[in-house]
Structure 1
Amino acid sequence: MRMIDQPLLVTMGDPSGIGPEIIAKAWASSQLGGAVVCGDLQVMRRALATTGITRPVAALDSPIDLPAVPEGALPVWQPEGLPAGLSGLPWGQISPAAGAAAARCIECATAQVLAGRARALVTAPIHKEALAAAGVDFPGHTEMLQALAARHAGLGQAPAVRMMLANEELRVVLVTIHVSLRRAIDLLDTPGILQTLRITHEAGRRFGLAAPRIAVAGLNPHAGEGGLFGDEELSIIAPAIQAARDEGIDASGPYAPDTVFMRARHAAGHPGEFDFVVAMTHDHGLIPVKYLGVEHGVNVTLGLPFVRTSPDHGTAFDIAGTGRADPSSLVAATAMACRLAAA
């Protein structure tokens, strides 16, 4: 199939969270860009009713059947193996069935993308405790997608991937993600940081940047202050930066992490000094992006053999089922998926 004929696939996320609602809202406002929902038909019907959208749902046998969907109908492909009774689950509560359904949709949608029957994957939010309750052996999307890509390629070792959170003002790539802070610091080493810089450099091409400028944030206050506040910058981070520069990658730092994000931010009247910032730990890197507005942020998994994006927020159990959820981040994720898939 030609890329332009392939649909986007949007997984419904946790059926007890806001994922189905924001999908329904984004679709009803014509901002899902030729997408097919991978999810439960009744869950999506409930989402339409919850948001006050009176339109039908079209059941697809395959994502590639999108052109046959009647005008005005929400296209939904329900994969085999979903638990029964999902639309009857209470809103905003952790459920093993919801976790199992979310994982099954991710697995099946990823298989479709890897088989060339979809051009990119957009994933609605999942709940990590629900995944664990369902016995899913992954802490989140990133790790699951990494394993699925390895299985598809018949690789004994999963491909190296990194999480990037981005909006129109800032792009941040993480060296470590879903582990404790203590464990994250223990995991940091020069090869891992160098690998992150290589993945970030390669990602720059999809953003139309032949030589992306990559700033590396330090780990310690003031980037260690020459070793006074920790020596990781000297012993681990700086050698990785130098090795990347020796390969022709425009990496610099390590910079004080309390100021580098401001320097990199692209804002009106303030062109950023850098195209990407690499941060050592999850919250260190994501707090600045989310502070700029969760509704505009997009999560991108770098290093996969396909494009995957997701909204910059979670399942929002506190407002699930109220119809109040804002679809803006999902819309941004869809737009970025289209952009990156076309690059």
Structure 2
Amino acid sequence: MINPPLIVTMGDPSGIGPEIVAKALAQGNAGACVVAGSAAVMRDAVLALGLDLKIEKLTEIEQATGRKGCIEVLETGGDGPFPVGEVSPASGRAAYDAIVAGIKLAKDGRAAGIVTAPIHKEALSAAGLKFPGHTEMLAEFGGADRVAMMLANEDVRTVLVTIHCSLRDAIERADYAAQMSAIRLAHEGCRALGIEKPRVAVAGLNPHAGEGGLFGREEIEIIAPAIKAACDEGIDASGPWPGDTVFMQARRDRFDVVVAQYHDQGLIPVKYLGVEKGVNITLGLPFVRTSPDHGTAFDIAGKGIADATSLSTAIDYARRLIATSTKKKEDA
């Protein structure tokens, strides 16, 4: 067996996941990776793309050799057929099984970390699964008390206080405990990326960060006290800053990371700058997990035109995080 490889899950087999996994690994610079998923699906993707790669099916990750010109696939099951470009219960279940297998391997130390290709929330639901996305699965099975999503590209980074819920629920969930958790994880996440003294900006929930209570009191009663407590812990946190300008300031290098209060507040500015270089990093886990910053793209699935740049970038980020973690352990 090679040193613990990185697990790359195939994603929803009805989407572009298998295609971008094959393209990313075909570049030959991803390092030691094993795909968790279906060897048959990956073989079809390689053939459709005309790639000069062999598919080697594994039953145990310890069988991995890292041989060049080969994609090693840890078979995690899945009964097709998997219709291309459509929501499918079979695809949702197959994607889920690959993720759960990857999480277990990383948690047990048999994999260096995991990089997950895109899944489809409706397909998971159609398969009878309760999880709306990767982050919730990682929180359930990953062995962490609290996780947070960091979206990062070359210009900005953001960590979300609340993730996949309605805006009404997000307001209720963005309480003091959630603020503290997100601020701490943002600080720790930046340090994991090699930023020694992260500058953490916290966005307000309301327009103009509440305008002194005129547009809401969450900033005064919840967010500001959490920022003060974080500062008392030695974290360089500031705010609450108006959500409509804080990302512009971060892009101008005033801040290293922005803590956003809800999903769209944080993700719109990051994705507007281009999903091809965006990476999703799950913070708070006992292992590394990254993913591309885009979805299953059913509209172009099976056409061979999907861009694998974001997945390749996610693999690069995973390697960077693993290297930083390893160095810290060696220095300790």
Q: TM-score normalized by structure 2?
A: 0.94
Query: What is the aligned partner in structure 2 of residue 36 from structure 1?
Result: 34
Asked if 2 retains the 8 angstrom alpha-carbon contact of 1:279 and 1:285, the reply is yes
Q: Deviations for 1:51-109, whole angstroms, at most 9, x for unmatched residues? A: 22132211123223222x54312111112xx2323xx4221111111111111001111
Distance 1:223 1:77 in 2: 48
Distance 1:23 1:5 in 2: 21
Distance 1:55 1:196 in 2: 42
**Residue 153 of structure 2 is aligned to residue 167 of structure 1:** yes
Asked if 1 retains the 8 angstrom alpha-carbon contact of 2:38 and 2:78, the reply is no
SS, match of residue 226 in structure 1: coil
Asked if 1 retains the 8 angstrom alpha-carbon contact of 2:28 and 2:68, the reply is no
Using the TM superposition, give the Cα deviation of residue 224 of structure 1 relative to its aligned residue in structure 2, in angstroms: 1.1
Which shifted more, 209-218 or 296-305?
209-218
**Residue 98 of structure 2 is aligned to residue 112 of structure 1:** no
Distance 2:79 2:69 in 1: 27
Asked if 2 retains the 8 angstrom alpha-carbon contact of 1:149 and 1:159, the reply is no
From 74, 79, 82, the counterpart of 1:84: 79
Distance 1:175 1:142 in 2: 13
Distance 2:264 2:46 in 1: 34
Using the TM superposition, give the Cα deviation of residue 165 of structure 1 relative to its aligned residue in structure 2, in angstroms: 0.3
Distance 2:307 2:6 in 1: 20
Distance 2:176 2:295 in 1: 31
Distance 2:260 2:68 in 1: 45
SS, match of residue 216 in structure 2: coil
Asked if 2 retains the 8 angstrom alpha-carbon contact of 1:33 and 1:335, the reply is no
Size of the aligned set, in residue pairs, is 324
Equivalent runs, 1:121-200 vs 2, <5 Å: 121-150=114-143, 159-200=145-186
The letter for the 2-side match of 1:73 is: C
Distance 1:227 1:178 in 2: 27
SS, match of residue 64 in structure 2: helix
**Residue 324 of structure 2 is aligned to residue 327 of structure 1:** no
Q: TM-score normalized by structure 1?
A: 0.92
Distance 2:243 2:93 in 1: 38
From 274, 280, 285, the counterpart of 1:304: 285
Which shifted more, 70-79 or 36-45?
70-79
**Residue 271 of structure 2 is aligned to residue 290 of structure 1:** yes
Query: What is the aligned partner in structure 2 of residue 154 from structure 1?
Result: none
SS, match of residue 197 in structure 2: coil
**Residue 65 of structure 2 is aligned to residue 72 of structure 1:** no
Distance 1:149 1:57 in 2: 29
Q: What is the CA RMSD across the aligned residues, in angstroms? A: 1.4
Q: Deviations for 1:229-264, whole angstroms, at most 9, x for unmatched residues? A: 111111111111011111111000011111110110
SS, match of residue 227 in structure 1: coil
Query: What is the aligned partner in structure 1 of residue 262 from structure 2?
Result: 281
Distance 1:206 1:277 in 2: 16
Distance 1:214 1:339 in 2: 21
Distance 2:321 2:68 in 1: 27
Name the CA shift for 1:251/1:48 in 2 (closer, same or farther; >3 Å): same
From 290, 299, 321, the counterpart of 1:340: 321
**Residue 60 of structure 2 is aligned to residue 62 of structure 1:** yes
Asked if 2 retains the 8 angstrom alpha-carbon contact of 1:64 and 1:118, the reply is no
Using the TM superposition, give the Cα deviation of residue 186 of structure 1 relative to its aligned residue in structure 2, in angstroms: 1.3
Query: What is the aligned partner in structure 2 of residue 21 from structure 1?
Result: 19
Using the TM superposition, give the Cα deviation of residue 33 of structure 1 relative to its aligned residue in structure 2, in angstroms: 2.1
Asked if 1 retains the 8 angstrom alpha-carbon contact of 2:79 and 2:94, the reply is no
Moved over 6 A (4+): none
Distance 2:263 2:212 in 1: 24
Using the TM superposition, give the Cα deviation of residue 338 of structure 1 relative to its aligned residue in structure 2, in angstroms: 0.4
Distance 1:73 1:337 in 2: 21
The letter for the 1-side match of 2:58 is: L
Query: What is the aligned partner in structure 1 of residue 247 from structure 2?
Result: 261
Distance 1:326 1:273 in 2: 31
The letter for the 1-side match of 2:32 is: G
Name the CA shift for 1:263/1:70 in 2 (closer, same or farther; >3 Å): closer
SS, match of residue 142 in structure 2: helix
Using the TM superposition, give the Cα deviation of residue 300 of structure 1 relative to its aligned residue in structure 2, in angstroms: 0.5
SS, match of residue 301 in structure 2: coil
Query: What is the aligned partner in structure 2 of residue 8 from structure 1?
Result: 6
The letter for the 2-side match of 1:313 is: H
Asked if 2 retains the 8 angstrom alpha-carbon contact of 1:244 and 1:251, the reply is yes
Query: What is the aligned partner in structure 2 of residue 232 from structure 1?
Result: 218
Query: What is the aligned partner in structure 2 of residue 153 from structure 1?
Result: none
Distance 1:175 1:207 in 2: 20
Which shifted more, 51-60 or 207-216?
51-60
Query: What is the aligned partner in structure 1 of residue 87 from structure 2?
Result: 94
